[in-house]
Amino acid sequence: MIFVSYRRADSGYAAGRLCDRLRDAFGAENVFKDVDDIRPGERFEDVLRAALAKARVTLALIGPTWSTARGDDGERRLFAPKDYVRMELEAALALQHLLIPVVLSGGEPPAEDDLPASLRPLAGLQSAFVRTDPDFHRDVDRLFAHVARVVPRVAARAGGAAPSGALVEARTELEELVADVSKLAHTMNQGNVLILGATEVSDYIRESLGSSYTAEGFADWLEAESSLVDSAVVKGWFRSSLWMKLDELLDSVKRRGGECRGGLRLVGTCVDLLVAVIRDAYSPETFRRILTLPKDVWRRQLANAREAELQRIVNDNLVGNAAAYYVARYEEAVPAIAALVQAFGSAVDTLSDSDLQRVLALPTAAAEAEPTRTASLRRFAADAREILGDEVSGTLAAGIDDVERLLSKEHAAERLRALPLRGGGRD
């Protein structure tokens, strides 16, 4: 059962409209809304508790005054122990339902400061957003794709087809994947994580050496460590810190790519390519190239340096190499692959349900058997040409060609030759 929690004055109309769609998709017997499902003479609180006990999903509808509505005593209703909305959501949290905050037009996701202590876990839940027309039905379809993972949809009724859960889920999953890929590409922008890593290593060296952090002390430390890249400081930082900044986002994108079904698995192939490139960008070997600077270069630079300049010289060398290496190898490729994923997403977004069904039904074995990921993507664009049309397929093919060029060793070598890496870092 799906339990709909709402305040009548805050979201009554939206609740009615949403419940009409819920009943069509999941069956009237599987949707509970207080006004429609409590008969005269029944105890309101008892019926709510019984319905919540049966529910597997609770939708908390949040409109403009959901958290600020006040009772006759002038106090905020949400902070009153007997407030029905509060009691409903406390029960849903206790029963560990799938609880989805559904933010309506004019509402905002709940913040901890706006909630009583018993409802603060609500602030940590991902919200869904349902806007007014012309976006209402599209947003509701997206919401239903998540609900359908817990409560099955009803079969198609005689005389008309029910909305296809598989198609709605495919669109929703692809849309979420495109959003995650865009976020990942933005995080990689300008090699920020590598530059941050180089900066933190520089700071760590200064803190580790303490009073010995002089030009002579740093040179002696390099001798004792054999080389900067092999030092315990650098290795320890890499193991404990670098991947913590990327793993969660990379794993999320990888998981979503793996969930693509049928012909859209080739979008997953594109995501695999992006993840592989980023993992290479932040591999120990890449970090080794960035930090490699021959000792004679260090000694020459530090020979006449005043102590006040030491940190700047160390930092500039490490950060400069990080920025230069990222620009040479990855700055163009990462956004190009992300743009290719977005192009796939845009192409699918414009397809009718029947054409999307044809894409999902495309055989993928031949494309997946190609020797490289870009070859697989090119084969898919060709196989889908009849469905996507010449213009879209041509755009995808051009994007694939561009990605392949940007990832080539020849392109990387040309870029590296043009950049001022300090003493090391060249392939």
pLDDT of amino acid 158: 37
Helix (H) or strand (E) holding 202: helix 192-209
Q: Whole-angstrom Cα distance, residue 376 to residue 366?
A: 8
Q: Please give the sequence-ordered ranges of beta strands (E in DSSP) within 179-317, or none if there are none.
A: none
Helix (H) or strand (E) holding 185: helix 165-188
Instruction: Indicate yes or no: pTM above 0.75.
Output: no
Which CATH class name applies to 2-163? alpha beta
pLDDT of amino acid 101: 92
- Give Dmax (Cα) for the chain: 92
- The residues of the chain scoring below 50 in pLDDT are 155-163, 421-427
Count other Cβ atoms within 10 Å, centred on residue 421: 19
Q: Is the CB of residue 420 less than 8 Å from the CB of residue 324? A: yes
b/e string for 280-313 if b means 16 or more Cβ within 10 A?
ebbeeebbbbbbbbeeeebeebbeeeeeeebeeb
| Each residue's pLDDT tens digit, 351-392 | 777 788 888 888 878 777 888 888 888 888 888 888 888 888
Any long-range contacts for 229-238 (C-beta under 8 Å, 24+ apart)?
Answer: 229/287, 229/288, 229/291, 229/292, 233/201, 233/204, 233/205, 233/208, 234/201, 234/287, 234/291, 237/197, 237/200, 237/201, 237/204, 238/197, 238/284, 238/287
3-state SS class at 395: helix
pLDDT of amino acid 424: 41
Q: Minimal CA–CA distance to 288: which of 280, 298, 278, 296?
A: 280
Q: Is the CB of residue 342 less than 8 Å from the CB of residue 270? A: no
Domain ranges of the chain: 2-163, 174-417
Pairing, β 57-62 against β 2-5: parallel
pLDDT of amino acid 156: 40
Task: Quickly tell me which residue has 């990689």 as its tokens.
Answer: 188
